[in-house]
Structure 1
Amino acid sequence: MRFSLKWKIAAWCAALLLVTQIGGLLLFGEIGRGSAMADAQADLKTGDRVFARLLDERASQLTQAARVLAADYGFREALLSQDRETIESALANHGGRIRADVMLLLALDESIVASSSFNLGRTPERLRQLIEGARSGAHSGGFAVVSGMLYQLVVVPVMAPVPVGWVVMGFSVDKSLANDLKGVTGLEVSFVRRSGDKGWMLASSTLNEPLQSALLGELSANGALQDEALTLGDRDYVSLMHAIDAGPQQQVGAVLQLSLERALAPWNRLYRDWTGLTLIGTLLALAVSAFMGRSIASPVVRLAEFARRVESGEYGAPPAVARGDEIGQLANAFVHMTDAISLRETRISELAYYDVLTGLPNRAYFTERLEESLRTAAADGSDLAVVCLDVDRFKMVNDTLGHELGDLLLREVARRLRETLRDVRDQVARLGGDEFAVMLPGADASKALSVAHRIAEAMNRPMNLDGQMVDVSASMGVSACPAHGNDAQSLLRHADVAMYLAKRHNTMAEIYDPRHHDQNVERLSLLSELRLAVERDELVLYYQPKVSTAPDAVHHVEALVRWIHPTRGFVPPFEFIPFAEQTGYIKAITLWVMNAAIRQCGQWLRQGLEVNVSLNISARDLLNPELPALFAGMLECHGCPARLITLEITESAVLDDPLRALANLQVLRETGCALSIDDYGTGYSSLSYLRQMPVSEMKIDRSFVMHLLDNPNDEIIVRSTIELAHNMGLKVTAEGVESEGVLERLRLLGCDLAQGYLISKPIPAEALEKWFRESHWAQGAAGSSAAAVMLDEPVGRAATRTVAV
């Protein structure tokens, strides 16, 4: 039987179409599985990030609720009065609001005071670790295994004003949590744990029972899972182990899994459609091969081109395929697939480039737009300026009114910034915390400063935050291109420098000046050289005498630290002491000063000269538990009696950590030295702390002494301070005496010791010994002095103590 050419052509076309379709099906099979695997791994990593954020949000929810409970006045009163019924009611109410599974109140010794529907038994070691973490910060959080159950916990101290207890709140890690996480991430979630060398155990899982056993078997065989494909039962999964810190004794993790069946579903649907299309095309090709070539090849080519555009990230409108057959179904599948991908990428972009709280672009987005605008400005020669803004008193609003009103404040600031900007090209962003930035294309520094004035006016208007009127202001810094930089990082950094300058000068806004930057660099360089100053013995001590208002056989001097730099010469203390305190290097300087002063005191004693030396102790030093032992070692090494040393501390130093500070003071007092309160009247300590401090002397700050004769209020303060000190059995020393009249008035008020430029300026040890022999102050009834390390100022200018060493 002979076939006609028409049928031969039809047969050959049908065969060619069949071979082509089968080859395409096989090719798509390989590509599809590889693409599905890559998509599944990408979805898994995205789900892991979402999972981590959800855990952080739960921790934040617990922390906020615990802080609200800890700050509740009635709750603290119930705790102090040991009203167990009220405590348990408060725990139940606050726990019920956020559906917490764990509500505990622990005493400072970590014993259970009260709990809400939760029997803890013995306090677990992990909970003790969390409590230990909360001692050094505002709160502590993490995961813990309690009675065989996994919990997410936070610990917040109850302050009154010192810690009096610990609030513990937590959520259980159960199947309900796993199902919630699955609903958000779309992943199978299994919480697993093991202790020591024991095998893995399952805390909760969204998998069914057979798959749970299979998962535990895989974990026992392979350990942690990371982007691995494994088979559980008859299903393939891509898995990832999210490690969870639950303490050194427990290994806890969340196994996130995505079924490859779900990832392959679009491709399987594509395979089925393609197979149907092949069969139909083969049958129709026998009759109308030319028509089938036009009706099939053309749409497929367009869809393939669209798939390539999707692959490159272009999610435009798909090609119009107004058909109801398999080609149309394939086109619809592409539409749904690209819509889903586009929505996911849009959401990811929002999280990556926008601030969730204010809706403003974040730092990453702002930096990218700034770089693009800088390239445009460089191309057309136009100006561009950046304004960095920091909300003043924001921390006070947060601490006083709470974080919820703080968030409302940030939203209101964002709204006013958007309303203030008039040019559609202007860009505003939240860089983080209470810091915002504004990009002003086409504006120079002068125009940017005028915009800053408008912003300041908008910020200065009172804000009604949920019925609470709040007044805030803003400090702003301005930098412009090309005067202050040609790249985004330079402009932002320079605007930041100008902003902090405005904050220090208490001005509304400042334009960046390279000189300020150079000064900061110079100070940092000086700080690095300060680290070598102690080793090279570049520091020296000067001494300023004090006179007694009554006969005293012992001399008293006040020592001042000086830095004689080999190239810079004399470096004033106010230029290096603040930086030393900020970096913690003040401890090394303190030890050097203590050792040098005690050594000099011992030398004077061996020469027959009995001199009492006072040493100022900074806040950092006062909290150092090793200080008493180091101090006692120096006394023994240099043969100096402890009675000749007076350690001076400021009021604020005790307030930083009253319990540790008072304990350290007591140990220091037991060495036999005297303790003195320095700069009394300038701090904020209460009389309750003053009563507890084992001090024997009180020093009145020079700001009250210098104008004693001119200001009646200063005299009232000085007189009442002297009377208070004498009633408490303390000696009184007055600083800043610069006239005979002030000294005579202090003598009439009963002040014990006085110091100032009237008596002597700070002098080296050799000059001081000559002063002891020749000065009428030393020879008279008031011949005494005290040594303390402090920062002195020129005559006539009130001293501002930056640090006590």
Structure 2
Amino acid sequence: MMRVGLKWKIAAWCAALLLVTQAGGLLLFGEIGRSSAHDDAREELQTGHRVFDRMLRERTGQLTQAARVLSADYGFREALLSGDRDTITSALANHGGRISADLMLLLALDESVIASSPFDPGSTPDRLHQLIEQARRSSTQDGGGFAVVSGSLYQVVVVPVMAPLPVAWVVMGFGVDQRLMNELKGVTGLEVSFVRLGAEQPGWKLVSSTLAEPLQSELLQRVPASSIRVEPVTLSLSGHDYVSRLHAIDAGGQEQVGAVLQLSLDRALAPWQRLYREWAGLSLLGMLVALLASAFMGRSIASPVVRLAEFARRVESGEYGKPPTVARGDEIGQLADAFVHMTGTIASREARITELAYYDALTGLPNRAYFAERLDEYIREAGARSASVAVVSLDLDRFKMVNDTLGHDFGDLLLKEVARRLREALRNVRDQVARLGGDEFAVLLPDADARQALGVASRIAEAINQPMNLDGQVVDVSASMGVSACPEQGVSGRDLMRQADIAMYLAKRHNSVAEIYDPRHQDQNVERLSLLSELRKAVERDELVLYFQPKVSTQPDRVHHVEALVRWIHPTRGFVPPFEFIPFAEQTGYIKAITLWVMNAAVRQCGQWLANGLEVNVSLNISARDLLNPDLPAVFADMLRQHACPARLITLEITESAVLDDPLRALANLQALRDTGCALSIDDYGTGYSSLSYLRQMPVSEMKIDRSFVMHLLDNPNDEIIVRSTIELAHNMGLKVTAEGVESEEVLERLRALGCDLAQGYLISKPIPADALERWFRDSRWAQSPDAAPAPAVRPSTGAALVTAD
């Protein structure tokens, strides 16, 4: 590719600036000209429209005057009364000929045709009946409009024949034909088109027009279907713009007649277009002059820069010599001086840069760039020898906790020790051990397949899992590893690294030492990403639903208790179980959006129930991520106010482990939530990292026993001991107790005997929608049992939801 010199770049920039200025002015001038042309055209169209209306009124007046003269003619009335048809027909023809009328009719009082000229229409059109009725109601007893007679459109008037009462009706009309169109165009200076809408066919039909034949069909496509009385608009017909006014001139029954008046913009824009061409020519000439002048000016600037560029190319090839002498005191001279200082330091820095580019400064291991180059090299060699290459991707477990707890300096010591152990464990492949970044390492194994690499991973795990004594602090470290091999899983270095990472993250989820990549893992990741995208849309479009699982009190209680559970009915996947999307949402952090949706929906439902006379305590689950959100208490309080829901009817459930991630923030948020007036409950008690020290600090009012202890309560004495102890502990601390997973009458009776306050499970009810829950309140034996309070009448309402994987 040919390089453009600096002087020509300077010239080009000057020309470009001039071009932008000229083009901007031209565009602005063009817009002003077009706007002015539009205004002039609209004004001319308005004038033509007034002339058009006056011509139609004058034609109507001409027809009315002629019809009145005929109806007042004594001989005509005598012929009418005597039934002399020949005389009547002659009179119609004579009077019509005087004004060049195209239609003459004499109608009886029953509106049948008595005589006509110049043709017999047969029957009387419906529109004439309407005009006669209009004339009867008129004070002048005249009527006028447009009517279709024998398939042609006429401008007609209806005048009664008085003797002295009406004895017949005279109808006179001018045809709406090409002659009329040309006359209207000659007077108004506009293109004129008559259209009509009749009951016999859908859409507008063109009656006559001064437009050229190809434009007429385009015009019909742009006439509005319902009404044509609108303000002036611009219509494009075959690439030409017309300022158009669509005007309704007559409407009766199912028929409408309209006129489209148009003025071409080409004529108004012609002077401006000529000016555009002249200005463009001047702009081009100015740019050529500016280009030559700026090229001359740029030459004096470009010459020393070219010499410096030649020197820079020599430096690029490794030739460090004396820079060219540029005896100038301006910026170019300063650039030459900078070259002198630059050449003295480039050589020493180059070696250091090379080292930093391929090795990790902390551990001394090769870095990602070096590892990627060597991996691609080994893959090429293996392909030529039909051999295999394996990769082990390694990531330390809980390294972030080490950094957060003991500090980043200690984390660096840990990484150095891991690097040392990797070197010791893999002495024969030392150059192929690399630190990819953070706590990620990788091992390249030439001439090894996936199974052999899995054995190396086991050796690495043994070396890393040994306790480390760093700076007087003993820490236990483990790692998760993923294995991929070429050509079994991939044929490129990028593919192998990606596949090893996928397998490594699978090992983390399975709490295993190492996993070999399986293509199904990739499909699952793609499916999970797709599911997350669809889940976002489901929340944004309010497509999630809430189900409610009732709880029954073991003692008389007039308040209903339910737990709200989120459900997702996918439009194509069908029912998506919560365990498929809730854990994924928690991992990605999207659980916050789901929680806010659930809280708002459940609070709204609770408020609606209360407004309908039903008091229901609704429980909601709050995840660990949500509990650390400092804005959650304020958002929750706003929801309560918005939906008029008392805070006492909402119970927020949290897990024990949610507090352990950040106890100070979690406890502060719990207290802020408790200050809103809601109740707090510990969910799944006994399954997490229970801590009585945190339990006594948490402002909770309820404790939920996990289903794993309840389901085998009657079969496992240890489970009964745990349940009894939990109930006694909770009651001693002033807390209520709810038992989950109640699936038999015997378990429920035993819980009642142990003093449990609330029970929840499939024995009582599965999670159900809000409307089914309201029927459950009315009809279920659990809701109506003597041990539970009777349910008040429930009016229909809508449902809400909760974040849980139940």
| TM-score, with structure 2 as normaliser | 0.53
Q: Secondary structure at the match of 2:547?
A: strand
Please tell me whether residue 359 in structure 1 is matched to residue 364 in structure 2.
Answer: yes
Instruction: Report deviation, 1:554.
Output: 1.5
Deviations 1:746-796, CA, capped at 9 Å, x for gaps:
222221111122222212223222322332222214437999835355xxx
Alignment-derived partner of residue 643 in structure 1: 648
Instruction: Report deviation, 1:713.
Output: 4.3
Does the Cα contact within 8 Å between 2:465 and 2:478 map onto a contact in 1? Answer: yes
Which of 496, 503, 507 lines up with 2:508 in the alignment?
A: 503
Please tell me whether residue 479 in structure 1 is matched to residue 481 in structure 2.
Answer: no
Alignment-derived partner of residue 311 in structure 1: none
Alignment-derived partner of residue 595 in structure 1: 600
Residues 471 and 678 (structure 1), Cα distance of their counterparts in 2 relative to 1, 3 Å cut:
closer
Residues 122-137 of structure 1: matches in 2 within 5 Å? none
Alignment-derived partner of residue 802 in structure 2: 789
Residues 158-173 of structure 1: matches in 2 within 5 Å? none
Which of 491, 498, 514 lines up with 2:519 in the alignment?
A: 514
Deviations 1:206-227, CA, capped at 9 Å, x for gaps:
xxxxxxxxxxxx9xxx9xxxx9
Alignment-derived partner of residue 167 in structure 1: none
Does the Cα contact within 8 Å between 2:681 and 2:702 map onto a contact in 1? Answer: yes
Alignment-derived partner of residue 771 in structure 1: 776
Instruction: Report deviation, 1:556.
Output: 0.9
Alignment-derived partner of residue 556 in structure 2: 551
Residues 449 and 586 (structure 1), Cα distance of their counterparts in 2 relative to 1, 3 Å cut:
closer
Deviations 1:567-610, CA, capped at 9 Å, x for gaps:
00111112212332344432332232223223333343344432
Does the Cα contact within 8 Å between 2:388 and 2:487 map onto a contact in 1? Answer: yes
The one-letter amino acid paired with 2:757 is D
Please tell me whether residue 751 in structure 1 is matched to residue 756 in structure 2.
Answer: yes
Alignment-derived partner of residue 50 in structure 1: none
The one-letter amino acid paired with 2:621 is N
Taking the aligned partners of 1:568 and 1:480, their CA distance within structure 2 comes to: 35
Residues 452 and 566 (structure 1), Cα distance of their counterparts in 2 relative to 1, 3 Å cut:
same
Alignment-derived partner of residue 734 in structure 2: 729
Does the Cα contact within 8 Å between 2:770 and 2:800 map onto a contact in 1? Answer: no
Residues 31 and 766 (structure 1), Cα distance of their counterparts in 2 relative to 1, 3 Å cut:
closer
Does the Cα contact within 8 Å between 1:557 and 1:787 map onto a contact in 2? Answer: no
Does the Cα contact within 8 Å between 1:426 and 1:441 map onto a contact in 2? Answer: no
Residues 497 and 680 (structure 1), Cα distance of their counterparts in 2 relative to 1, 3 Å cut:
same
The one-letter amino acid paired with 2:447 is G
Q: Secondary structure at the match of 1:761?
A: coil
Instruction: Report deviation, 1:515.
Output: 0.4
Q: Secondary structure at the match of 1:720?
A: helix
Which of 562, 567, 572 lines up with 1:567 in the alignment?
A: 572
Instruction: Report deviation, 1:476.
Output: 1.8
Comparing 435-444 and 640-649, the one that deviates more: 640-649
Alignment-derived partner of residue 224 in structure 2: none
The one-letter amino acid paired with 1:529 is E
Deviations 1:51-82, CA, capped at 9 Å, x for gaps:
xxxxxxxxxxxxxxxxxxxxxxxxxxxxxxxx
Instruction: Report deviation, 1:230.
Output: 4.8
Please tell me whether residue 541 in structure 1 is matched to residue 554 in structure 2.
Answer: no
Residues 474 and 767 (structure 1), Cα distance of their counterparts in 2 relative to 1, 3 Å cut:
same
Taking the aligned partners of 2:409 and 2:678, their CA distance within structure 1 comes to: 50
The one-letter amino acid paired with 1:454 is R
Does the Cα contact within 8 Å between 2:423 and 2:430 map onto a contact in 1? Answer: no
Taking the aligned partners of 1:788 and 1:724, their CA distance within structure 2 comes to: 31
Taking the aligned partners of 2:468 and 2:514, their CA distance within structure 1 comes to: 21
Alignment-derived partner of residue 455 in structure 1: 460
Residues 98-497 of structure 1: matches in 2 within 5 Å? 230=334, 238=338, 344-392=349-397, 394-395=399-400, 406-421=411-426, 427-461=432-466, 471-497=476-502
The one-letter amino acid paired with 1:746 is L
Q: Secondary structure at the match of 1:504?
A: helix
Residues 488 and 742 (structure 1), Cα distance of their counterparts in 2 relative to 1, 3 Å cut:
same
Residues 606 and 694 (structure 1), Cα distance of their counterparts in 2 relative to 1, 3 Å cut:
same
Comparing 768-777 and 360-369, the one that deviates more: 768-777
Residues 643 and 417 (structure 1), Cα distance of their counterparts in 2 relative to 1, 3 Å cut:
closer
Q: Secondary structure at the match of 1:736?
A: coil
Does the Cα contact within 8 Å between 1:601 and 1:611 map onto a contact in 2? Answer: yes
Does the Cα contact within 8 Å between 1:615 and 1:787 map onto a contact in 2? Answer: no
Count of residues in Structure 1 that have an aligned counterpart in Structure 2: 486
Taking the aligned partners of 2:683 and 2:368, their CA distance within structure 1 comes to: 45
The one-letter amino acid paired with 1:563 is W
Taking the aligned partners of 1:642 and 1:768, their CA distance within structure 2 comes to: 21
Taking the aligned partners of 1:596 and 1:537, their CA distance within structure 2 comes to: 10
The one-letter amino acid paired with 1:387 is V
Instruction: Report deviation, 1:371.
Output: 1.6
Taking the aligned partners of 1:389 and 1:633, their CA distance within structure 2 comes to: 46
Q: Secondary structure at the match of 1:484?
A: coil
The one-letter amino acid paired with 2:774 is E
Which of 762, 766, 771 lines up with 2:767 in the alignment?
A: 762
Residues 452 and 676 (structure 1), Cα distance of their counterparts in 2 relative to 1, 3 Å cut:
closer
The one-letter amino acid paired with 1:487 is S
The one-letter amino acid paired with 1:758 is L
Taking the aligned partners of 2:773 and 2:309, their CA distance within structure 1 comes to: 89
Taking the aligned partners of 1:629 and 1:599, their CA distance within structure 2 comes to: 16
CA RMSD of aligned residues (A): 4.0
Taking the aligned partners of 1:632 and 1:391, their CA distance within structure 2 comes to: 41
Does the Cα contact within 8 Å between 2:604 and 2:800 map onto a contact in 1? Answer: no
The one-letter amino acid paired with 1:488 is G
Alignment-derived partner of residue 15 in structure 1: none
The one-letter amino acid paired with 1:739 is S
Residues 594-633 of structure 1: matches in 2 within 5 Å? 594-633=599-638
Residues 376 and 742 (structure 1), Cα distance of their counterparts in 2 relative to 1, 3 Å cut:
same
Alignment-derived partner of residue 297 in structure 1: none
Instruction: Report deviation, 1:614.
Output: 1.5
Deviations 1:438-465, CA, capped at 9 Å, x for gaps:
1122222233223333333444455565
Extract unaligned runs of 5+ from structure 2.
1-305, 319-328, 792-798
Q: Secondary structure at the match of 1:438?
A: strand
The one-letter amino acid paired with 1:481 is C
Q: Secondary structure at the match of 1:760?
A: coil
The one-letter amino acid paired with 2:575 is F
Does the Cα contact within 8 Å between 2:390 and 2:446 map onto a contact in 1? Answer: yes
Residues 422 and 619 (structure 1), Cα distance of their counterparts in 2 relative to 1, 3 Å cut:
closer
Extract unaligned runs of 5+ from structure 1.
1-29, 43-217, 239-259, 267-339, 794-805
Deviations 1:132-165, CA, capped at 9 Å, x for gaps:
xxxxxxxxxxxxxxxxxxxxxxxxxxxxxxxxxx
Taking the aligned partners of 1:583 and 1:733, their CA distance within structure 2 comes to: 31
Residues 388 and 669 (structure 1), Cα distance of their counterparts in 2 relative to 1, 3 Å cut:
closer
Residues 431 and 674 (structure 1), Cα distance of their counterparts in 2 relative to 1, 3 Å cut:
same
Identity of aligned residues (%): 78
Residues 628 and 404 (structure 1), Cα distance of their counterparts in 2 relative to 1, 3 Å cut:
closer
Q: Secondary structure at the match of 2:804?
A: coil
Taking the aligned partners of 1:453 and 1:725, their CA distance within structure 2 comes to: 46
Deviations 1:522-564, CA, capped at 9 Å, x for gaps:
0111101111112333211111111111011111111110000
Residues 633 and 403 (structure 1), Cα distance of their counterparts in 2 relative to 1, 3 Å cut:
closer
Comparing 670-679 and 549-558, the one that deviates more: 670-679
Taking the aligned partners of 1:696 and 1:469, their CA distance within structure 2 comes to: 40
Instruction: Report deviation, 1:655.
Output: 4.5
Residues 358 and 669 (structure 1), Cα distance of their counterparts in 2 relative to 1, 3 Å cut:
closer
